[in-house]
A and B are shown apart, each in its own frame.
Chain A
Amino acid sequence: MALALQTFSTVKDADAALKSAGTRYLGGGTLVVRAANEGDVSVSGLVRSTDPALSAIAVSRGKVRIGASVTMAEIARHPELGTLAKAARAVGGPAIRNMATVGGNLFAPAPYGDFAVALLALDATVGTDEGETPIETFLAGRDDSRAIVTSVSFTKADSFRFLKVSRVKPKGVAVLSIAVVLEQAGDGTVSSARIALGCMADRPMRAKAAEKALLGRTLDPHGIAAALAAATKGTAPITDPIASAWYRAEVLPVHLGRLLLS
């Protein structure tokens, strides 16, 4: 059965329409229309907003604000978002990247949501009409979130590193993904670390034990050994046709090590 779509010019009006039971917000369609095609009867109506602010990218003095309707392809080709291009290109094939939005990626269940892993490492904030929320808080409560995401904001980090592991090249569903933002002191030791993991839980999570174990260490095989040993602490990897939870836990330290030493 077809679903009625309501289109609003403002986020405020769309937010009000989204309060009806069974309605879902339509971004690029790669999650919601997919669910409807699959026979998800919990979706009975769709709402979208055509507010142009949702499609804007603003970069100013190192601060980045990306509208929720911006697609992965738009991020990948934006001249000032070069460091993020790898994470945006990790999502889907060319057609999916022309459709999948930043806002939608925040809601993508594992094994999807590679871009949200990058945003978690970047300590992004998620904007709605009700205000700004740290991404970690937002991800924890996303199942009950009813306010339309309007933007994500973060500070650019030159030390941003990203790795997606998949079995099919060049495009495949993730075995796991890792994003890392590190700061190093003058002597090369790590002074702060944020490590975000995809597929190691039902949504992106931080490897806080590994982050802690990196502090004061240098980025060499000996220096990162404690962090790699702690990498799987607190994880609950998914099992799906791509990989088992056991396999994901086995290979996470290997890939984290390669990313830290790259």
Chain B
Amino acid sequence: MAKVPVQFTLNGSEKAEFIDSGTTLLNALRDKIGDTSPKGGCHQGTCGACSVIIDGELRLSCLMLAETCNGATITTTSGLAVGGVLHPLQRAFLDTFATQCGFCTPGMIMAAKVLLDHTPNPSREDVVEALSGNICRCTGYEPIIRAVLAAARANPQNAA
């Protein structure tokens, strides 16, 4: 099958690859580019483990074809830590024990990041709504909700 070129910005750096036409963004990220932070859970759009941020919007990389992302700016959880310092959301997830097996965590953090980017000071209901497309089978969700609220409080802009 003919290869097609894809080119996009991933976590601030330019990426260009030749891939099989019809390859999902999830498979291109994991197998071609080597970013394994998005996880393949259900491949059905149900679990949210493959969530990434494309041009500021939360998307499911398992249901997107990589070649439709040409020119896009893509953020994954592996791009959040800067210089070895964890992003406030990552720090909060660790501090509140919001990660157990860890499989849903990158998707949860992407969904939470989009929320905090648009709503720096969310209510509990905002957090529940923002995470409603992401499934966690370990935590019962409460520690995750607490982590997102804690990350929002840690934002200096929200200091009263």
Which residues of A does B touch, CB under 8 Å?
A: 2-5, 7, 26, 28-30, 33-34, 36-38, 46, 48, 73, 92-96, 98-99, 170-171
Contacts and interface: CB of A to CB of B under 8 A. Distances in A.
Contacts of B57: 73, 98
Contacts of B64: 29, 33, 99
A95 B111 contact: yes
Given A26-B65, A33-B24, A94 B60 contact: no
6 contacts: A36-B22, A95-B51, A95-B59, A96-B60, A99-B60, A170-B128
Interface string B29-45: 00000000000000111
A46 B65 contact: yes
B133 A93 contact: yes
Interface of B: 1-2, 4, 20-24, 43-45, 48, 51, 57-60, 62-65, 67-68, 111, 114, 128-130, 132-134
Given A2-B1, A26-B68, A94-B132, 16 more contacts: A2-B20, A2-B22, A5-B67, A33-B63, A37-B63, A46-B22, A73-B57, A93-B48, A94-B58, A95-B48, A95-B111, A98-B59, A99-B60, A99-B63, A170-B128, A170-B129
B71 to A, nearest CB: 12
A171 B129 CA distance: 8
A2 B2 CA distance: 11
Given A92-B45, A93-B133, A2 B63 contact: no
A2 B65 CA distance: 10
B23 A96 contact: no
Contacts of B1: 2, 4
Given A5-B22, A170-B128, A92 B65 contact: no
A95 to B, nearest CB: 4
Contacts of A94: 58, 111, 114, 129-130, 132-133
A19 to B, nearest CB: 19
B45 A34 contact: yes
B24 A99 contact: no
Contacts of B114: 94
A48 B64 CA distance: 13
A161 B21 CA distance: 43
A95 B21 contact: no
A170 B132 contact: yes
Nearest to B27: A2
A223 B94 CA distance: 57
B41 to A, nearest CB: 11
Contacts of A93: 48, 132-134
Contacts of B130: 94
Nearest to B128: A170
Nearest to B54: A98
Contacts of A2: 1, 20-23
B107 to A, nearest CB: 9
Contacts of A3: 21-22
A1 B129 CA distance: 35
A37 B43 contact: yes
